[in-house]
Chains A and B, each alone.
Chain A
Amino acid sequence: MKIWTIIIICCMVSTAMQAQVFVTRTGSVNFFSETPLEDIKAENNQVYAAVDLSKKTIAFSMLLKSFLFRKALMQEHFNENYVESDKFPKSTFNGMFTGDVVPGKANTIRVEGVLLLHGVEKKITTHATIELKEENLTGFARFQLIPEDFKITIPGIVRDKIARQIDVQVTIDCKTVK
Chain B
Amino acid sequence: MNQTVEFRNRPKIIGSYSIVGPKEGAGPFGSYFDYVMKNDLFGEKTYELAERKMFEQAVTGAIESAGLTASQINLMLAGDLLNQIISSSFTARDFSLPYLGIFGACSTMAETLAVGAMMVNGGHFGNILCATGSHFSTAERQFRFPLELGNQRVPTSQWTVTAAGASVLSLEGKGPEITMATFGKVVDFGIVDVNNMGAAMAPAAAETIFTHFNETGRKPTDYDLIVTGDLGKLGAEILVDLLEDKGIKLGPNYSDCGHSYFTREQDTMCGGSGCGASASVLNGYIIKKLKKRELKRVLFVPTGALMSTTASQQGESIPGISHAIVIEAGGK
A binds B: no
